[in-house]
Structure 1
């Protein structure tokens, strides 16, 4: 069971998120907070596995709260859920230690999937943000050329779709595979390419085709 803390200054948003999370069998809401100070306090009191964190809140904002929470070695993971999709908010949140960044127009099922995937160790972004991060990285000259790797045809297909910013579920649907099979391919791809997260793997995929 994944223990989730909800942090948002809008009570209605928190209520909607609680209903969504508690409709599942593997997630449970263990607490709520309306600002950053409350979030830090709630983490100490509720011991969540993951914090769904808003950014713009009164007093201590979500970035500073993320820095306080993620800075603890055995602390929970932080998944940002915000209305802001600009670099001014994205990069400070990532620098503070967030494990994912989603915008609030994310589909409900995609949010639940994101919570599970972050807990599995993925670095997760909304597709539009991932594409922007990849494009920016690709436009920056690499210090060393992208190395050639020996991929199976199916691994190459999966890699190309990662480069397009597709999620595991979308890749599975596109290639008519199970999600578990896609995950196995991703593990193999990261091992072969030396990429330690999805963003780097996506950058590798795009540079490989240029």
Structure 2
């Protein structure tokens, strides 16, 4: 139980690089092996997350689904740097390559950012075909990322995908439910048992 609480906390503080200044509430946390799924909310804002926070003690990989944009999830990592930054800044874009097992390699980008008062280095991934990567992740064993920078050594990351299918499917499903709203219960193609003219 303690492990689950700690994991939920780590997933919360790594909400996204665009939400550093806010602390989000969490609920509906569920463990799926090396992955977990949960909801983050602040007022009327809601985001559904699938994440691996177990492959490394200081780095996670998250997939966030935003209502209304469920088909275009946001892929992010947070690296704990142990020392809080004194100013906000970014290091621009670098080459990032993504590969699940021995499937096709996707060549994308990553933007590295830091925020004043935060000890995390945020990696915001730009992926050409999000649907293809999501599909590979759901059915693969290991996600590997290679980050190439001109002014630093090449960085390699590996994340287990055990439980990714359950976590991503659950987060995406909840995102679609919220996006459709209560009107989805009246979208049946079946015929109504009565019509207004029958009342008169």
Normalising by structure 2, we get a TM-score of 0.26
Higher relative contact order (CA 8 A, sep 6+): 2
Structure showing greater radius of gyration is 2
Normalising by structure 1, we get a TM-score of 0.25
